[in-house]
Amino acid sequence: MSQRTWVPSPYGTIGPFFLKPLVDGCDDLTQWNGKKARGQQIVLTGRVVEEGNAPVLNSIVELWQADAGGVFPHPLDPRAAEADPGFFGWGRARTDREGRFQFRTILPGGSREENGVARCPHINVMVLAIGVTRRLVTTAFFSDTPESVDDPALNCVPANARSRLFAVRDAALDSGATPVYRFDIVLRGDHETPFFLD
Amino acid sequence: MASHPAKSTAPLEYAPYDDATQSLRQIPRYPRSFTRNPSQPLIRRPLTLSERTGPADLARRLPVDRMDLSRPDAGTARVAGQLIHVAGRVLDEDGAPLAGAMIELWQANASGKYIHEMDRHEAPVDPNFTGWGRLVTGAEGEYEFITIKPGAYPVGESDWWWRPPHIHFSIFGVSWMQRYVTQMFFPGEALNETDLLYNGVPDPEARQRITFQLQPTKVGIPNLLRYRQDFVMRGKRATPAVD
Ligand SMILES: [Fe+3]
């Protein structure tokens, strides 16, 4: 039996003027509902650059991630009842003149599918910008041993580009007790970030 | 408006967007689109819980309910411009309404000026017009808001390009995959003919989906022009596989 299908509306660029009040206060994922998120706090920072390694200022980066226990606060996750009440999992930030964004969040836990497939700790990342007519989606992975990571999304990425999807601990940038991870996003050019089909 | 939490218990299937119904990634004469879109093919990967979940209840996280952008505070004067009422529904690919979807919108004032540090256009700022709103769809996926029709504005990096009047939208459905950003245009605007972004959607039928539809006019308080448009988010309800 065929059912009528509605066609998804066409995407458009976010343009230059995504207003400040829509971004303010969205870059800290470490507390929610007056509670502190469980787990290791981190700073996730990086630069968004375009062809020629030029900074992309005024782009919007959004995140979605599991909590420290690898649970997504969403009804589709069978473990949703165990989700950290101090963690919402979503964030948004704007890039500055150097193309830099910065979030405070917690190190995500690995998650497991109902069929047993394991996802390695990761954060979903999307970029919106002038000239980007459809959102660009990628994933930041976290591991001390990137070579040995077995993750169903990462395994789809050409082997020589996988390292670009790992956020790198940068001890020189550590802010006090909070470790800083760098995740640069190259929209186009040398060392281009692998993006996923959306 | 009553807030309806996103109903996200039914899993959805997400086919990749059909390029024929979407904007070009690289639009001739739009230089940024050539330096900011990947040269390598996009990578197909299996969708897991991570992508099938998402910030479905953002109304708990972000302030909502700016229904009337034309009136900054109850009882104050309306901002300058042609008053309009915009309504429609947010649906999925089955035509099923998405209750509890969050809609963010932002726009220029009637003179084509945004309140944004990067806006260099020398047009008057309307101090009463903040130019943004955040709403949540009702039980039938419906949304509505009142605002003023935005003005056209020149693109600073170009020597000819004027953007036609448009309103920007950002919508959150029930998952990371159901995330939508676009611009909506007004019917019959001469500047639509030359706009790179509007015409960056090559299929005229698809362009209609990002064009407000003017509704039959009526005179009577409140006097405003009414427009409608639905947003169709990607995603169909999963059906059990049949052998
Ligand atoms: Fe605009």
Q: Is A195 inside a domain boundary? A: no
CATH code of the domain containing A82: 2.60.130.10
Strands B83-91 and B166-172: unpaired
**Does the reported pTM lie above 0.80?**
yes
Q: Is A103 inside a domain boundary? A: yes
- Please tell me the total count of domains within chain B: 1
- Quick one: closest CA in A to B56, which residue? A74
Q: Is B60 inside a domain boundary? A: no
Residues of B marked active site are found at: 114, 153, 163, 166, 168
Structure tokens at B49: 């819980």
- Whether residues B52 and A111 touch (CB distance < 8 A) is answered with no
Range of the domain at A90: 31-186
Distance B151 CA to ligand 1 centre (A): 10
DSSP code for A177: T
- Nearest residue to B87 (alpha-carbon basis) of B138, B44, B151, B45: B138
Q: Is A35 inside a domain boundary? A: yes
Rounded distance between C-alpha atoms, residue A55 and residue A95, angstroms: 9
Q: Is A54 inside a domain boundary? A: yes
Cis, peptide link before residue B5, omega less than 30° from 0: no
- Residue written as tokens 């093919």? B41
Residue type, B119: D
Report the 3 state secondary structure along chain B: CCCCCCCCCCCEECCCCCHHHCCCCCCCCCCHHHHCCCCCCCECCCCCHHHHCCCCCHHHCCCCCCCECCCCCCCCCCCCCCEEEEEEEEECCCCCECCCCEEEEECCCCCCCCCCCCCCCCCCCCCCCCCEEEEECCCCCEEEEEEECCCCEECCCCCCCEECCEEEEEEECCCCCCEEEEEEECCCCHHHHHCCCCCCCCCHHHHHCCECEECCCCCCCCCCEEEECCEECCCEECCCCCC
Are A123 and A66 within 8 A, CB to CB?
Answer: no
Per-residue pLDDT reduced to its tens digit, A164-179: 999 999 988 888 889 9
- Whether residues B45 and A129 touch (CB distance < 8 A) is answered with no
- Whether residues B48 and A113 touch (CB distance < 8 A) is answered with yes
Q: Is B62 inside a domain boundary? A: no
Q: Is B161 inside a domain boundary? A: yes
Per-residue pLDDT reduced to its tens digit, B148-200: 999 999 998 899 999 999 999 999 999 999 999 999 999 999 999 999 999 99
Q: Is B199 inside a domain boundary? A: yes
Q: Is A198 inside a domain boundary? A: no
Residue A152: CB partners within 8 Å, gap ≥ 6?
A117, A119, B45, B46, B48
- Please tell me the total count of domains within chain A: 1
Task: With beta carbons under 8 A apart, name residues in chain B contacting A96.
Answer: none
Q: How far is CA B145 from CA A38, B84, B135, B188, B224, in A?
A: 39, 8, 8, 22, 12
Residue B9 pLDDT = 58
Range of the domain at B176: 19-33+68-232
Q: Is B175 inside a domain boundary? A: yes
Distance B166 CA to ligand 1 centre (A): 6
Tens digit of each residue's pLDDT, chain B (243 residues): 344 444 445 679 999 999 999 999 999 999 999 999 999 999 999 999 999 999 988 999 999 988 999 998 878 888 999 999 999 999 999 999 999 999 999 999 999 999 999 999 999 999 899 999 999 999 999 999 999 999 999 998 899 999 999 999 999 999 999 999 999 999 999 999 999 999 999 999 999 999 999 999 999 998 999 999 999 999 998 775 554
Residue B36 pLDDT = 98
Residue B240 pLDDT = 58
Residue A4 pLDDT = 67
Residue B5 pLDDT = 47
Count of residues in chain A: 198
CATH code of the domain containing B126: 2.60.130.10
- Quick one: closest CA in A to B234, which residue? A8
Strands B231-232 and B83-91: parallel
Q: Is A24 inside a domain boundary? A: no
Q: Is A99 inside a domain boundary? A: yes
Residue B75 pLDDT = 80
In angstroms and rounded to an integer, the radius of gyration of the C-alpha atoms of chain A is 17
Task: With beta carbons under 8 A apart, name residues in chain A contacting B5.
Answer: none
Which residues of chain A carry a pLDDT beneath 70?
Answer: 1-4
Rounded distance between C-alpha atoms, residue A22 and residue B178, angstroms: 19
Rounded distance between C-alpha atoms, residue B117 and residue A170, angstroms: 32
